[in-house]
Amino acid sequence: MLDKKNFYINGQWVKPNSKEEIKVINPATEENCAVISLGNKSDVDLAVTAAKKAFETWAFSSKKERLELIEKLYVNYKKRWSDIAEAITIEMGAPKDFASKLQAGTGASHIKSFIRYLKNFEFEKPLGEHAPDQRLLYEPKGVCTLITPWNWPMNQVCLKVIPALASGCTMILKPSELAPLSSIILAEIIDEVKFPKGVFNLVNGDGEVTGNALTSHPDVNMISFTGSTRAGALISQNAAKDFKRVSLELGGKGANIIFKDADPEAIERGALRCFRNSGQSCNAPTRMLVEKSIYAEAIQRLEKYTKNFEVGDPNKEGDHIGPVISETQYNKIQTLIKKGIDEGAKLVAGGPGKPEGLTKGYFVKPTVFADVNNQMDVARTEIFGPVLSVIPFETEEEAIKIANDTPYGLTNYIQTQILRK
C-alpha cells in the first residue's frame, strides 16, 4: 500500500499537522491501495499563507517566464504519462487504454492548448478606438482554491491548475480524496520543474473539514469547484461571506434528442457516450429522447448493443468499462435501478446486481430503461452510472419541453441532419 500522507506546501513535501487519515480503495479489487492524510485548518492555513506570499512576486512574473515553466511542465508530464494513467486505473478503475488515451490524454491536451493560448494572449491591450490613450489590463485574481472531482481527475486538475499558473495566480489544489494519486504525481512534476515556492500547493482532504477551510479562508480570492450540486451550494455560501469569485461546474442530466433523420450510428453512439467512463461524467447524455416513428427500432438496437457491451478488469486492454468509484456509489446506482423498475420503466437490458463473472469490485451492468416518463427518478436524478433512460416524443416542441424539464443545466445534445437557421 502506497504511503502518500505528505502534502506539497511552499515548494516542499511536508508532514501534515492533521492526524486524520483515509485509505484510498481500488474499486476493481475493493482493496486498499494507498493511504493519505486529511488536511485540517492548520494545514490549510500553511498552504494559503505560502500561496499569498508567493503571489506578491508571481503576479508580476513575465509571460515569458510562465510560458517557459509550463512548457517544461508539459515535457515532464509526457515523461510521466504512463505513471499518471496507471494511477488513474488504480484510484478510480478506468481501464488502462481509456486511462492512457482519454484520462491522462486529456490532461496533456489541455496543457498543450493552454500553452498555445498563452503564447497569443496579450495581458495589456488598447481599450478601443473610442479611447486610444487608455489601456485594458488583465491582472491575476490572487490566491485560488481549486477543488476537483474523482471522475476525470487529470482532465479537471489541468483545466484549473494550468490557466491559474498562466494567468499569474497562486493556488491550493484539493483533489478528491477518493482519487488523489494522479494529482500527487502532477505535484511531483511541478516540483521537478521548479516553479517558485508557494505558487502551487497541494493539500489532500475531505469536503467537510479541508474543503470548508479552503473555501471560507479570508485570504483566498477565488474558488474553482467541479463536483456535486449540493457541495456547490455550500461553497457558494462560504464564498458569499467575503465576496470571493466563484466558478462552479456541477451536476447534469443531459438530454440527447434523436430525430428520425439522425445519422445511422446515433443510437449506439448515444449509448456509448452514456456508458463511457462507467457513466461517471457530468455531461453524459443519460436521457435519450427518440422520435416516435423510430422509437421501436431504437429500443431493439439499444437492447442488442447494451447486452454486448463489455464490462471487465481495468488492467485488461480493450474498449470495455470498469467499475464505479466506490461502494457508496455502487449502492446508490443499484437503488436507482430498482426504483426505475418499481416506477414502471421497462427494463430493456442490464438491471440490478453485478455483471456475470464479476463478483468482486464495484462493477455495474450497463442498463437501459425504455418507456420512461420525465417524472420518474431515473429521468430526474443524476445517477452517475451506466444507466440510460429512453423517452419517446412526437414533436420538436415536445422534445424541447422534456429536455428543459430538469433542475440541471449543463449539457444537451441534438442528433439530426437538418439544421434550420
Active site residues: 249, 282
Query: Who contacts 368 (Cβ-Cβ below 8 Å, separation ≥6)?
Result: 271, 302, 303, 306, 347, 348, 349, 350, 387, 388, 390
Cβ pair 284, 239 in contact under 8 A: no
In one-letter notation, the amino acid at residue 159 is: L
Q: How far apart are the first and last CA of the chain?
A: 58
3-state helix/strand/coil string of 147-191: ECCCCCHHHHHHHHHHHHHHHCCEEEEECCCCCCHHHHHHHHHHH
Cβ pair 127, 134 in contact under 8 A: yes
Say how far apart CA 290 and CA 212 lie, in whole Å: 43
Cell of 400: 424541447
3-state secondary structure of 22: strand
Say how far apart CA 77 and CA 73 lie, in whole Å: 6
H and E: helices and strands count for the chain: 14, 18
Q: How big is the CA angle at 126 (ends 125 and 132), to the nearest 5 degrees?
A: 165
What ranges make up the beta strands (E) of 267-420? Answer: 287-291, 346-349, 367-370, 387-393, 413-415
**In 3D, which of 311, 15, 22, 346 has the Cα closest to residue 181?**
22
